Structures are given as C-alpha cells and as structure tokens.
Structure 1
Amino acid sequence: MRVGYAGTPEFARVALQALVEAGATVPLVLTQPDRPAGRGLKLQASPVKQLAQAHGLPLAQPRSLRLDGKYPDDAAAARQALQAAALDVMVVAAYGLILPAWVLATPRHGCLNIHGSLLPRWRGAAPIQRAIEAGDAETGITLMQMDEGLDTGDMLLVEATPIGADDTTTTLHDRLAALGARLMVQGLRQLRGGTLRAVPQPAEGATYARKIEKAEAQLDWREAAAVLERRLRAFDPFPGGAVEWQGQPLKLWRARVLADAAPAGMAPGTWLPLGEGRLALACGEGALEWLEVQPAGGRRMGVRDFLQRQPRHAG
C-alpha cells in the first residue's frame, strides 16, 4: 500500500520509524513548519521532518490545509501533493493541524489516527497529561478512522496499558508512542488483508483533554496533596510546578504525599518540621514533601542538594 503520514513531535516520529522499518511505501510526509527553539530561537525541524529527511521521504510543511484560510497557497500546494501521491491511506499522529474534509477524503481508505487514550475518554490535545492528572488507573492507544469531529471517529484497534504510581507524562508518552507504532503497523496489515473492522465509539463516557497551559503550573496548597502530586507528574516535562522559595520562583518537579504528616487544623502552605534536608508543606488534605526542584536558570536537583546550596532554609 501507499501510506502517507502526517505528524510532528517525537510521539509521531516513533510511528513513522516503525512504518519505514515495516517496509511501507511512503510517498508523502506532512509535518509542521520549522519553529524557533532554544535560547537562540533558531529554526528547528520537527522530529518527523528530521526522520523523513534521513530516509529521503518526500516532505511538505504547509502552514494550513484550509483552502479558504489564511494560507490558501500552502493548502493548494498540499492538495496537489496529496493527489499526486495517490495514497491508499494516510496515518496521522499528533500532527497539530486540523484536517479538513478534502484531506480526509483524498486517500482511498481515508485517514487513520493514532490517539493516546482509550476513546471516548480524553478526546483532544492532551490525553496523556489529563489521564495522569485525573488519577486514571489505565490509558492506552486507539487507532481511529478519522472524521470531521474532534476524535469522534470509529475505533479500529484499541490496547490499554496501566498508569503506574510513578508515571510522568515523559515515561507514559514513551510507552504509548511505542504501543501506538505497533498498533499502527498491525492495523495497516489488517487493512491490506481486508480484516480491519470499525466499531463506533460509545455514546457515553466522553471527556475532553484540553491543552496544557503554562498558567496551570501554579500550585494551590489548598488542594489535596494527592491531587497536586498527580499534577506534577502530569506536568513533567511541561510546565512543571511553580512554587516559591524565600520569595524567589522555583520549579517543583517531583514530590511525595505525606497523608498523616500535617496536624489537624494546620493552614495549607505551612511548612512542616521534618528535619534537616527535607521540605514539606501542609495542603488542604495531607502534606506534600518536595523531592526534586529546579532553581531559575539552574538544573533539576534533589531537595537535599538544593538546600545545601542555600545560605539558610526553613523546614
């Protein structure tokens, strides 16, 4: 089969690598335009673009696919490239652009999406983060037939994986990326063999995984310690937890729940006396011990190491 591919970040690169290793014919790869990155804000190619170039795959980077949108010339050029590619199917993974109806209808078998949740739970932009934040026991990959809705298409293949007590978005992302790549290859083989079957999503149980905003990093000690600890794991590697230490901004990356450490009636945000080299704050329920922090302009480090570098500290 002639398999097109649309994706941008590392999650999508893993699946494209699997597609190449499976020996698929990939006549066209779509990815987002290069973006400024790093301290020098130099233009940087996406992981998918880097891989496509390494394998000599035809590549297009339209700013939009909407023929009536802000960049109609980009969309028109992309349509010409898609039509010329004569695709049997297109795989989409974390591409970042909305696919209008004309794109969905161009490949003979439409577009298949690798989605990082057990649909219909966590449709939207941040399914991995929101699953951890909500305390879900499991998540997974859904290979879905795309339609014009937001992750509403029929399910083709589904596989679950547990969310561990120590899982962060980083660790779960890597596991799901590998799972998604494997499920995609399996789905394409079944499609070629005529055995891939579509199942409509359940009418109930849909939730929306809204995009992670930097402002969400600010922690509110009135919330339960368990809620804050999950949020920190969900927000690793972005945006972390925003806290203060002696009036200076500090990023909190890892923490531990101390269920019975805070005496009844202790105000949220009060420091707990845990002894040398340890820091913990009372929360609305329980307490949160800080384990890994990052000073402004510095690197991540354990709390004991951080405190040894301070002229004075509380706790």
Structure 2
Amino acid sequence: MKLIFAGTPVFAAAALQALIDAGHEIALVLTQPDRPSGRGMKLKPGPVKALALEHGLTVAQPLTLKTEEAQALVADVGAELMVVAAYGLLLPRAVLEMPARGCLNIHASLLPRWRGAAPIQRAILAGDAETGITIMQMDVGLDTGDMLSIHPLAIAADDSAASLHDKLAALGASAIVATLATLDDCRAVPQPEAGVSYAQKLSKEEARIDWTLPAEEIARAVRAYNPAPGAFTLLGGETLKLWQARAVDGTGTPGQVLRADGDGVLVACGSGLLLVSELQAAGGKRLAAREFAAGRAALAGTLLGA
C-alpha cells in the first residue's frame, strides 16, 4: 500500500520499521524539525527521521501542516493512506481528507480512556490494570475518531513509563501492520460515550512528591515519571530524584527517612512506607540505595520535602 507516515519519536520509529518490513511503499515521511541536543546543543534528527534516511525515504519537516505549501506536499504524493504515530503536529481537516482512505492513528491507550498527550504515564498514575493500542480513524477531534482495532496489554506491577512505552511501541508496530493487512474487512466502530478521560501533558512540578499521600500512590508516581520528568523531593533544600520504589507496610511521620541501608531508603508516607531502591542527588548520577546511603550516615531521621 502506498503510504505517508507521520511521526517523530522512538514509539513512532518502531511502527515505521514494521511498515517497511511488511513491504508497504512509504512515499513520504513527515516528522518534526530537528531539535538542539547535547552539550553543544547541535541540531539532532529525531528517531523517525534517522530511520527514514537510513532507508532512503523522502522526508519533510514542516513547522505546520496548515500552509498551502505543506498541504501540497501531502496532496502531491497521492497516497492511499496516512499512518500517524506520536507526530506532534495537528492535522487540519484538509490534510485528513487528502489520502484516499484517510489517516489512521496509533494511540497508546484503550480509547476512549486516556485521550491526549500522556496516556502511558496517566494509566500508571491511575493504577490501571491494563492499557493497550487503539488503531483509530482520525478526525478533527482530540483522539475522538472511530476505532478499527483494539489491542489490550496488561500493566505489570513494576512497569515504569519507560518499560511500558517499549511494550506499547512494539505492540503498536504489530497492530498497525495487522490492521492494514485486513483493512478491507475492518469495521470502524464509534468510541463509547462512557469512560472518556484525558491524559493531560506532564509538568515538572506535578512530579514533586507529596509525602502525605499513600505509599502506593507515590510508588505509582515514581514509576510513571520514569524517565521524565522524574519524581523528586527535596533533601536539605536540593533536588533528590527517585527512580525505583515500592510500597511496604508501616507507619511514621510523612516524609521522614526511617532507615537508609543496603535494603533501601525507607520513607514514611501518609499511609504505608516507601522503600526506595534507586536515587539521584542533585548534580550526581543514579545510584542504588546501598551506594547512595553509604556516604550519608546521617540520612536516617531526615525529613524529606524541605
């Protein structure tokens, strides 16, 4: 099938590779402009662009798809279908209607739950037992289009946003290939009106730990904000990031470090305790709790968060 592919990060690159491997003709790749990266802040192509160039595909990086010039790029291809995955730009109605069979989106949730920008993190934060991939016919709404296929995935108790992202990227890649293979037999189903929720974009400030919350909730936050923006608290007025933790039974003053040893840094919460196994002090590197506690003999008894 002659396709246009629109996407930018690793999640999208997995789908692009799968479509190439399946033998589809990728006539044009749309991706976000290169971003500054590294110490020198040199422009660096995103994963989709890098993969597309590796395969000799035509790449375009418009700042918007609302201009006549950008829309002409899409129209001139004469594609049968556009596949979109974490592209990052709004597709106007004119663009949505240009491919003969419209545009399909690979969305990382079981719609209509978690429409929007951060479905992976919001699912973990909410304590959802499962998530998945929805292949959706795009319309002008925010992830409101009819569903062509649904692919559930259980969320493991130790899944971080990073690990769940990788599982969903692989699932999304296989799901779009399977959907295209049976597209003529797919029946587009409207999303249910019940169960709609929105996955708002993450902010750095929301990742600051509130130690008065239950330990289970804080443990989910640590997993959801790993790798970005990183759950954090304050230790002696400086940022302390928490990368791995689990809830355990016990009581204490919220935010107080009860113990710091090779088993972990144990912190009291509003209910229950948080056993932290990986931490990162300001200006330092990520350390296992044993290494972190080794140089901080006075850590036990400290009150975090201030």
TM-score, length basis structure 2: 0.95
8 Å CA contact 1:222–1:268 kept in 2: the answer is yes
Q: Which residue does 2:256 correspond to in 1?
A: 270
Work out the CA distance in 2 between the residues paired with 1:275 and 1:108: 62
Identity of aligned residues (%): 53
Q: Which residue does 2:284 correspond to in 1?
A: 298
SS in 2 for 1:161: strand
2:91 matched to 1:99? yes
Work out the CA distance in 2 between the residues paired with 1:165 and 1:223: 19
Instruction: Give the deviation of 1:195 after TM superposition.
Output: 0.9
Work out the CA distance in 2 between the residues paired with 1:314 and 1:137: 34
Work out the CA distance in 2 between the residues paired with 1:35 and 1:25: 27
Q: Which residue does 2:268 correspond to in 1?
A: 282
* Superposed counterparts of 1:1-315, under 5 Å: 1-66=1-66, 75-191=67-183, 194-259=184-249, 261-262=250-251, 266-273=252-259, 278-310=264-296, 312-314=298-300
Unmatched runs of 5 consecutive residues or more in structure 2: 302-306
Give the letter aligned to residue 43 of structure 1.
L
Query: Structure 2 vs 1, CA of residues 147 and 248 (structure 1 numbering), >3 Å: closer, same or farther?
Result: same
The one-character-per-residue Cα deviations of 1:66-104 (angstroms, maximum 9, x if unpaired) are: 2xxxxxxxx322211111110100000000011110110
Give the letter aligned to residue 235 of structure 1.
Y
Moved more, 7-16 or 294-303: 294-303
Q: How many residues align?
A: 301
Instruction: Give the deviation of 1:214 after TM superposition.
Output: 1.1
8 Å CA contact 2:137–2:148 kept in 1: the answer is yes
Work out the CA distance in 2 between the residues paired with 1:46 and 1:32: 8
Query: Structure 2 vs 1, CA of residues 88 and 291 (structure 1 numbering), >3 Å: closer, same or farther?
Result: same
The one-character-per-residue Cα deviations of 1:190-248 (angstroms, maximum 9, x if unpaired) are: 12xx2121011001000000001111121010111100100110111001111122333
SS in 1 for 2:257: coil
Work out the CA distance in 2 between the residues paired with 1:248 and 1:147: 46
Query: Structure 2 vs 1, CA of residues 215 and 271 (structure 1 numbering), >3 Å: closer, same or farther?
Result: same
More strand by share: 2
Query: Structure 2 vs 1, CA of residues 6 and 279 (structure 1 numbering), >3 Å: closer, same or farther?
Result: same
Work out the CA distance in 1 between the residues paired with 2:39 and 2:241: 19
Q: Which residue does 2:304 correspond to in 1?
A: none
Instruction: Give the deviation of 1:311 after TM superposition.
Output: 6.0
Unmatched runs of 5 consecutive residues or more in structure 1: 67-74
Work out the CA distance in 1 between the residues paired with 2:101 and 2:264: 58
